[in-house]
């Protein structure tokens, strides 16, 4: 297939397929704008993407390779009278840093002959990063005869180097390359471990998100998905339980009425207190107002709820810190309670196949309404006229494409062009593949949100999500665990202490009862929270989308998208419902589905008015 040229005229050109950009694309196409949507990557969703296991290994490798500074080409021949050029950056070298990979499972299935045509001197760095099967076998042959203790040691050394890299700013990480270790013969014990070779072989069964967020059932993303009918492209699961880490144990947090009644860890008195507190919380009272500006913790203390309930309410329900003001704590408590019972017993939903599906769903909506999609394609520079408006862009093939508006992921914009008030903040991320749930249940198919308060003074609050295989994000028999916090140090510094406390790794000798970490990845990602849509050294019709932010929900990205849409098309409706397939066909009119219907009522004070489609089989 010969590479086709893109059309040369659009209303809106969008660069980057992250969540906010994709929502803008869908919204603009939906109301008839001609949209061109590009991404320099070969995959959708930028830093919101999800990857198969092998895809993730490739992503890791790409971030280890130093990006080749491409020659700046002279595009002045494409300039028209009075136009100026603004160059965009070729690659995103700043948003991801401090990658560290550890493999704590054996390379090969036990008892399986490791045969490899490759000479055994292949270095582990190369093989692990390649992630292809031959290479894995080679690495395994390589390590079969080595003492497992040595391998563990090597991993530990790797950590040390990683820390150094993290400390020295601006240095390309070189020492923290993936280092799988083989701990063979150690795990004959209870569980039969899944080998690294198996993870690679079954890699397609993983959908590993770069960001870890949940959808509040009454949050702006869920509302938008429903309003626009984009929801029909995806399926969701309830987060089934909320857990918290406390006194070295994982405990379930009772949040719905049913949970509170059923709870075995709460005394009768505590149950009564919690019921009363949660019910009274829903309305603003003078008593609450008296605490405005003072810490929520103080307010909770004065309610004399006791340590248990205080912990649950502060960390797991309000999900705030000890110094959060009372009015903020109460607002997020109310939001939590409002979200309960719309779909399930917790306030949260998770998309089947992972969060990376969501931007793709909005992209599809845009394509269905005529949006033109092109991956592996970027924009090199903007052509700006005398009135400081971007008239056209020059794409990576040197084609001039005119547009009235340009929307861009901020990672494509050079630092000099961006105005940011504060120095870039980072998020620390860890992704673990484990062999058991942190709180085993009968079905083994729980989706858990876990709040982890600071493990010691100076440590961050950690948000953890444990996904089971029925979310289609991991291989049956494994769990996918996402940890996220605001960076204090490098991702490894911030999160590995939590990992070693809650999981079994080679460093935590006698804790076989805990889930074992088979493989894990640490990295930092720039926090998109501080990036504004406008106000940069850019033409007035150019709008910036930030990457993912550190909040649990998606409000930030949706708000950004809505803001940009309103700047571009102030008169138009934002994502009106797309017609139903049946309506397109048979009557040509778009029927707006009506609201209403019953719902399970496990919430507090409000009746859930929404139901889920029950996937029942008719017989």
Partner 1 sequence: MAIRELKVCLLGDTGVGKSSIVCRFVQDHFDHNISPTIGASFLTKTVPCGNELHKFLIWDTAGQERFHSLAPMYYRGSAAAVIVYDITKLDSFQTLKKWVKELKEHGPEDIVVAIAGNKNDLGDIREVPMKEAKEFAESIAAIFIETSARNAVNVEELFQKISKQIPPLEHSEVDSNESFKLTRQPAASTRRCC
In the complex, the residues that contact partner 1 under the rule CB under 8 A are 1, 4, 6, 44, 204, 222, 225-226, 231-238, 240, 343-344, 349, 352-353, 357, 360-361, 363-365, 367-370, 372-377, 443, 445-447, 470, 578-579, 581-582, 584-585, 593-598, 610-619
SS3 165: helix
C-alpha atoms less than 13 angstroms from C-alpha of 259 in its C-beta half-sphere: 22
Please give the torsion angle defined by the CA atoms of residues 546, 550, 551 and 556, in that order, rounded to the nearest 10 degrees.
0
CB of 3 to partner 1, least distance (A): 8
In the complex with partner 1, the residue whose CB is nearer, 73 or 443, is 443
Nearer to partner 1, 160 or 593 (CB): 593
Q: Shortest gap between Cβ of 373 and partner 1 (angstroms)? A: 4
Task: State which residue, 201 or 294, has the beta carbon closest to partner 1.
Answer: 201
Residue 396 Cβ, how far from partner 1 at the closest point, in Å? 12
The nearer residue to partner 1, 447 or 545, going by C-beta atoms, is 447
**Helix, coil or strand: residue 345:** coil
CB of 149 to partner 1, least distance (A): 39
Name the minimum Å distance from CB 357 to partner 1: 5
Beta-carbon contacts of residue 50 (< 8 Å; ≥ 6 apart):
207, 208, 209, 210, 353, 354, 355, 356, 357, 473
Provide the minimum distance between the beta carbon of 480 and partner 1 in the complex, in angstroms, as a whole number: 16
Identify the residue whose tokens are 């992630």: 131
Minimum CB–partner distance for residue 505 and partner 1 (Å): 29
Other CB atoms within a 10 A radius of the CB of residue 465 amount to 23
At its nearest, how many Å lie between partner 1 and the CB of residue 351?
9
Q: Which residue has the tokens 């050079």?
A: 414
The residue (of 43 and 277) whose beta carbon lies closer to partner 1 is 43
Closest CA to 62 of 437, 488, 523, 507: 523
DSSP state of 515: P
| Nearer to partner 1 among residue 82 and residue 440 (C-beta) | 440
Residue 380, both tokens: 């090199």
Which two three-digit tokens encode residue 420? 């940011």
Nearest 5°: phi and psi at 579?
-60, 155
In whole angstroms, what is the distance from residue 135 CA to residue 123 CA?
A: 10
| Closest to 466 measured CA to CA, from 514, 418, 507 | 514
Strands 448-452 and 462-467: antiparallel
Q: Which CB sits closer to partner 1, 17 or 451?
A: 17
Q: How far is the CB of 198 from partner 1 (least distance, A)?
A: 16
Q: How far is the CB of 148 from partner 1 (least distance, A)?
A: 35
Pick 117 or 615: Cβ nearer partner 1: 615
Report in angstroms how near the CB of residue 41 gets to partner 1 at its nearest: 11
* Closer residue to partner 1 in complex, CB, 169/589: 589
**Whose Cβ is closer to partner 1: residue 111's or residue 595's?**
595
Tell me whether residue 368 or residue 455 sits nearer to partner 1 (CB atom): 368
d(CA 508, CA 496): 12
Q: How many CB atoms lie within 10 A of CB 165?
A: 21
Give the CA radius of gyration of the chain. Answer: 26
Q: Provide the minimum distance between the beta carbon of 611 and partner 1 in the complex, in angstroms, as a whole number.
A: 4
C-beta closer to partner 1: residue 39 or 270: 39
Contact between 148 and 80 (Cβ < 8 Å) = no
Residue with tokens 């009862």: 513
Q: Compute φ and ψ for 288, nearest 5 degrees.
A: -65, -40
Query: Which of 104, 262, 270, 95 shows the shortest CA–CA distance to 195?
Result: 104
C-alpha to C-alpha distance for 206 and 224, rounded to whole angstroms: 27
Integer Cα distance of 462 and 73 in angstroms: 45
Cα–Cα distance for residue pair 117/225, rounded to 1 Å: 51
């Amino acid at each position: 297939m010969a590479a086709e040229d893109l059309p040369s005229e659009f209303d809106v050109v969008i660069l980057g397929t992250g969540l906010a950009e994709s929502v803008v694309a869908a919204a603009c196409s939906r109301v008839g704008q001609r949209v061109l949507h590009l991404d320099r990557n070969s995959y959708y969703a930028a830093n919101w993407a999800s990857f198969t296991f092998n895809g993730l290994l490739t992503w890791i490798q790409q971030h280890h390779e130093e990006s080749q500074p491409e020659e700046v080409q002279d595009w002045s021949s494409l300039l028209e009278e009075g136009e100026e050029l603004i160059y965009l950056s070729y690659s995103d070298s700043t948003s991801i840093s401090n990658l560290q990979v550890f493999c704590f499972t054996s390379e090969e299935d036990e008892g399986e002959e490791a045969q490899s045509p490759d000479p055994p001197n292949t270095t582990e760095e190369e093989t692990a990063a390649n992630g292809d099967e031959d290479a894995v076998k080679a690495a395994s042959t390589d390590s079969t005869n080595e003492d497992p203790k040595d391998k563990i040691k090597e991993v530990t050394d790797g950590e040390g180097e990683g820390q150094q890299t993290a400390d020295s700013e601006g240095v390309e990480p070189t020492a923290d390359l993936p280092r799988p270790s083989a701990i063979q013969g150690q795990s004959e014990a209870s569980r039969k471990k899944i080998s690294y070779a198996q993870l690679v072989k079954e890699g397609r069964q993983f959908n590993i998100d770069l960001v870890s967020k949940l959808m509040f059932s009454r949050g702006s993303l869920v509302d938008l998905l429903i309003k626009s009918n984009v929801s029909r492209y995806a399926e969701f699961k309830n987060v089934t339980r909320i857990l918290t880490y406390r006194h070295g144990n994982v405990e379930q947090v009772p949040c719905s009425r049913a949970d509170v009644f059923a709870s075995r860890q709460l005394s009768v008195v505590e149950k009564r207190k919690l019921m009363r507190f949660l019910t009274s919380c829903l309305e603003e009272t003078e008593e609450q107002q008296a605490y405005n500006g003072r810490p929520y913790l103080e307010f909770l203390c004065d309610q004399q709820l006791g340590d248990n309930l205080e912990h649950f309410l502060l960390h797991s329900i309000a999900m705030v810190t000890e110094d959060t003001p009372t009015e903020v704590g109460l607002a997020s408590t109310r939001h939590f309670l409002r979200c309960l019972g719309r779909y399930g017993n917790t306030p949260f939903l998770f998309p089947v196949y992972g969060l990376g599906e969501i931007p793709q769903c909005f992209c599809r909506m845009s394509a269905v309404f005529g949006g033109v999609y092109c991956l592996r394609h970027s924009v090199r520079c903007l052509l700006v006229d005398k009135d400081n408006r971007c008239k056209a862009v020059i794409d990576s093939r040197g084609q001039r494409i005119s547009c009235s508006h340009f929307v861009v992921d901020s990672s494509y914009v050079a630092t000099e062009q961006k105005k940011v008030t504060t120095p870039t903040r980072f998020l620390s991320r860890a992704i673990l593949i484990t062999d058991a749930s942190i709180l085993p249940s009968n079905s083994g198919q729980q989706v858990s949100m876990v709040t982890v308060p600071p493990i010691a003074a100076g440590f961050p609050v950690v948000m953890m999500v444990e996904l089971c295989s029925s979310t289609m994000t991991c291989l049956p028999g494994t769990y996918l665990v996402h940890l996220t916090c605001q960076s204090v140090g490098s991702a490894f510094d911030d999160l590995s202490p939590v990992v070693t406390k809650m999981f079994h790794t080679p460093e935590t000798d006698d804790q076989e009862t805990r889930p074992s970490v088979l493989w894990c990845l640490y990295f930092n990602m720039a926090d998109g929270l501080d990036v504004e849509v406008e106000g940069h050294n850019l033409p007035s019709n150019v709008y910036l989308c930030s990457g993912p932010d550190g909040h649990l929900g998606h409000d930030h990205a949706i708000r950004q998208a809505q803001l940009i849409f309103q700047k571009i098309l102030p008169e138009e409706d934002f994502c009106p419902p797309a017609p139903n397939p049946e309506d397109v066909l048979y009557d040509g009119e778009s029927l707006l589905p009506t609201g209403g219907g019953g719902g399970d009522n496990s919430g507090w004070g409000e009746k859930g008015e929404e139901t889920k489609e029950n996937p029942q089989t008719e017989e």
